[in-house]
Amino acid sequence: MDFHRSTTRDSLWARLRTLQSSGATLGPSAFTPGAVLAALRMLLDLYPAVFRQDTALQDRVLRAFATTIIPGADIGEPDLVRMYHDTDYPFYPYTGFLVYDLETRAGRLRGGVSFEGISADDRTSVVQDALNSDDTTSRLYRGAILMAQVSYYAGIYHPERGCELIEFPGRNGGFSLEESSYPWAESALGYETTFDGNPR
């Protein structure tokens, strides 16, 4: 990595700003050797490039991860892991490192087996191990879990459909205005509020 190139500096600066704006305060565990090493690997891409470049590998591992943290989720759902690559969210530069950490952690804890190849209980143990790890890795996993669960349960890519797993019918669910609102709303609310919710 050439630190003299402006694109490299800009990319590194953007990643540092993302970490800074995460809202979490840094405790003493943020400066342990493990936390510092994890942060350097994430910021400088100091891990095998295959985890950043092999999109098929990323898809398999991330789908196994998502179905671990969202019990009952369909592993074949087309947009199950879309949020990890969505540039509208600040997580996507760290997706490769997440895949790398899942694979290496599973291999270390489960005798060299890939994360996607171990049982659901073992995958849960791997994720729990990461959450109990250094501060940097724990924050990465908490963010990854939050993104997956919000994306799936809130149906951010399919607001009309919602999420059947939690019986969320979506934006409307096919109900008429009369079925989804109080029939005499104007008698109970102020003059400015109308039956359809729009001001007069």
- More confidently predicted of 173 and 161: 161
- Given a contact cutoff of 8 angstroms between Cβ atoms, the answer to whether 153 and 165 are in contact is yes
What pLDDT, on a 0 to 100 scale, did the predictor assign at position 169?
A: 77
Model pLDDT for residues 100-110, shown as the tens digit of each residue: 999 999 999 98
What pLDDT, on a 0 to 100 scale, did the predictor assign at position 144?
A: 95
Count how many Cα atoms sit within 13 Å of the Cα of residue 29 in the half-sphere of its side chain.
11
What pLDDT, on a 0 to 100 scale, did the predictor assign at position 122?
A: 95
What pLDDT, on a 0 to 100 scale, did the predictor assign at position 170?
A: 76
- Given a contact cutoff of 8 angstroms between Cβ atoms, the answer to whether 47 and 100 are in contact is yes
Q: Which of 8-12, 25-29, 109-113 has the highest mean pLDDT?
A: 109-113
pTM of the model: 0.70
Mean of the per-residue pLDDT values of the chain: 79
Does residue 177 surpass a pLDDT of 50? yes
| Separation of alpha carbons 192 and 200, rounded Å | 6
What pLDDT, on a 0 to 100 scale, did the predictor assign at position 167?
A: 81
